[in-house]
Amino acid sequence: MEQDAEPSSPMNRRELFTLIGRVAGTAAMYQAMSSLAFAAESTFDPRFGLQGAPRGASVLILGAGLAGMVAAYELRKAGYKVQILEYNNRSGGRNWSLYGGDVYTELGGFTQHVGFDKGLYLNPGPWRIPHHHRGILHYAALVGATLQPFIQINYAAYLHSTRAFGGKPQRYRSIKADYEGHVAELLAKTVQQSRLDQSVTKEDQEILLESLRGFGALDENFRYGKSLEASSRRGFDHPPGGGLDARPTPSDPVGLSDILKSQLWRALAQSNEHEEQQTLFQPVGGMGMIGRKFGELLKEVIRYDAKVTRIDQNESGVTVSFVDAKKGGAPQTAQADWCVCTIPASILSQIPISVSAPMQAAINAIPYAASCKVGLQMKRRFWEQDEDIYGGITYTDQANAMIAYPATDYFSSGKGVLLGAYTFGRPGEEFTALAPEDRVKLAVELGANIHPQYRTEFDTGASVAWHRVPWTLGCFGGWTEERRAQHYDNLCQIDGRIVMAGEHVSMIPAWQEGAVLSSINAITRLHQRIMQG
């Protein structure tokens, strides 16, 4: 690859300020994600509503996750007779929280008796709701789930690499300030050397230099280094105080080369992604409160412990065979004119279903991502008491990937539950291969490299590895662009009398909003089909 090649055309003003946005972590990331259909605002319309269902028309819904319950609620409101078959003994699907006293058995027969104190919990699946996910926010309000802020970015949390700084974790604020300061200095030098004369006017260059001084905490010579201004962002060696202890001592910035080699800058962009930008929310009492309250609203129409074993359709309706998930026994059947199927493709691909070849191929084509979460109850909230960390996320290159701090019960003198691991990909597979108690043990071992207090403060833990969850066999639909191009539209079609819905039938997989929007789109098209006769 050639180095220092001249661009084919000069950089224009839009491109220049997009570059600045990338350094600052804003516009460029948003534009790139918009082009991939990930960053657009939610298409949810609160005025949505179906009306005028034909007398006696019935719809059978498979799955009481969010997609299934949204479908049931809206179809019933429109006048349809609805019934939901749900594999679990609770509503919500992946909208789920594990509390003290809960018992959970995964594939392989491993049973966990969750030992968290009262009021403490782990969200094995979704744990945050972006402010622009209007659909899930709408239904959370509708069912009466109270929301509170979720803290995504915390400058007091850590960035950690086992290969840099002797394995010592660095405060997020320090790496962010130093990275931005060094990049701002480099760009300022480029402007001063008149390298942008053909792209930016002299007037704009002066404005740009002034903005870079403020953005990067540069000195009067546009250099980034040890100063009170830089330390006001990255932290002081001795902070400003009172009386004779008032004078602050600035800290030494980390060199640009050290930051680049550490790879810690990668984590700085994490919270710039549109789905993770503040403000985010979480339900009071755990994410599972939404699923629980939605289930209470629909309790008359949900049949729990119903394991679907076969789905048949003909010109007059749909017949679904199921068995009692707890007791077993002879197969039973449920019938309806139409069916909304929200069963994850990872499970549905193993169930006989009478659909077209393109639909069956689409169902079979979706792999499901590996992921594991580990919740660790600590005897005291040392992250607050010792390190001034209130909410937010620490990122590490270790297998546990993330440590997240509860944004609830601040300053409590009692115990607290950390998210001690949140893994995907190969690390997720490695955690999944372990027995639950070994996942907890590994999360404690790795976390102690960042918080030594783990060794004395750990109390109890619980974990969920999604490929071992019997009713999902994976975390979410892991589409590739190639598979989406080949199969996505087929998966969305109304196939005879059956239509699919769920996060895997959306362009925002892994997010609850994808399930909500997919469900609304599916039942809207289904209602139109029914009304056409």
| DSSP secondary structure of 222-258 | S---S-HHHHHHH--SB---SGGG---BPPPPPPHHH
Q: Are residues 390 and 348 in the same domain?
A: no
Mean pLDDT of 46-53: 90
Asked if pLDDT for residue 494 goes beyond 50, the answer is: yes
In a domain, 523, yes or no: yes
Per-residue confidence at 28, pLDDT binned at 50, 70, 90?
very low
Mean of the per-residue pLDDT values for the chain?
92
Same domain, 266 and 162: yes
Q: What tokens does 73 get?
A: 């609620």
pLDDT of 199: 75
What are the E-state strand segments in 337-477?
338-341, 371-378, 393-396, 402-404, 416-424, 458-465
Q: Which of 55, 62, 56 is nearest to 302 (CA)?
A: 62
Q: Is the pLDDT of residue 18 over 50?
A: no
Q: Is 453 helix (H, G, I), strand (E, B) or coil?
A: coil
Query: What are the Cα distances from residue 298, in Å, to 444, 491, 502?
Result: 40, 27, 18
Residues 164, 135, single domain; the answer is: no
Q: How many CA atoms lie within 13 A of 462 on its CB side?
A: 25
pLDDT in tens, 332-363: 999 999 999 999 999 999 999 999 999 999 99
As for how many domains the chain has, the answer is 3
Per DSSP (E only), the strands in 379-505 are 393-396, 402-404, 416-424, 458-465, 498-500
Q: What is the DSSP string of 155-185?
A: TTSEEE-TTSGGG--EEHHHHHHHHHHHHHH
Nearest to 463 by CA among 491, 428, 496: 428
| Mean pLDDT along residues 134-160 | 97
The mean pLDDT of 234-246, rounded to a whole number, is: 93
Q: Do residues 179 and 135 share a domain? A: no
User: Is 492 found in the same domain as 348?
Assistant: yes
**pLDDT of the residue at 2:** 36
Q: 324 and 457: one domain?
A: no
* CATH number, domain containing residue 435: 3.90.660.10
Question: Which of the four pLDDT bands, split at 50, 70 and 90, describes residue 195?
Answer: confident
- The answer, yes or no, to whether residue 30 has pLDDT greater than 70, is no
Cis peptide before 279 (omega within 30 of 0): yes
- The CB-side HSE value for 23 (13 A sphere, CA atoms) comes to 22
What phi and psi values does residue 460 have, to the nearest 5 degrees? -155, 165
9-18, 176-185, 449-458, 479-488, range with the lowest pLDDT: 9-18
Q: How far apart are CA 443 and CA 140, in angstroms?
A: 32
Confidence of residue 9 (pLDDT cuts 50, 70, 90): very low
Residue 190 reports pLDDT greater than 70: yes
Domain annotation covers residue 485: yes
Residue after which a domain boundary falls, among 215, 235, 270: 270
pLDDT at 5: 35
Say if residue 38's pLDDT is above 60. Answer: no
Residue range(s) defining the domain that contains residue 450: 98-153+369-468
* Separation of alpha carbons 321 and 406, rounded Å: 42
Q: Does 166 lie in the same domain as 255?
A: yes
Geometric angle at alpha carbon 364, from 58 and 508, rounded to 5°: 75
Which whole number is the average pLDDT over 439-443?
98
d(CA 395, CA 370): 19
Q: Reply yes or no on whether the pLDDT at 3 is more than 50.
A: no
* Residues 383 and 437 both lie in one domain: yes
Mean pLDDT on 282-301: 98
Q: Label residue 41 by pLDDT band (50, 70, 90).
A: low
- Report the DSSP beta bridge partners of residue 98: 122
pLDDT at 35 over 50: no
What pLDDT sits at residue 14?
43
Q: What pLDDT is stored for residue 392 in this prediction? A: 98
In a domain, 278, yes or no: no
Q: By CB neighbour count within 10 A (0-12 exposed, 13-18 middle, 19+ buried), where does 217 fall?
A: buried
Give me the mean pLDDT over the 404-422 stretch.
97
Q: What is the pLDDT of residues 101-146, one digit of tens each?
A: 999 999 999 999 999 999 999 999 999 999 999 999 999 999 999 9
Judgement on whether residues 419 and 460 belong to the same structural domain of the protein: yes
Whether 299 is in a domain gets the answer: yes
Domain assignment of residue 276, yes or no: no
> CATH number, domain at 515?
3.50.50.60
β-pairing, 98-99 with 121-122? antiparallel
Angle between helix axes 134-143 and 288-297 (nearest 10 degrees) is 60
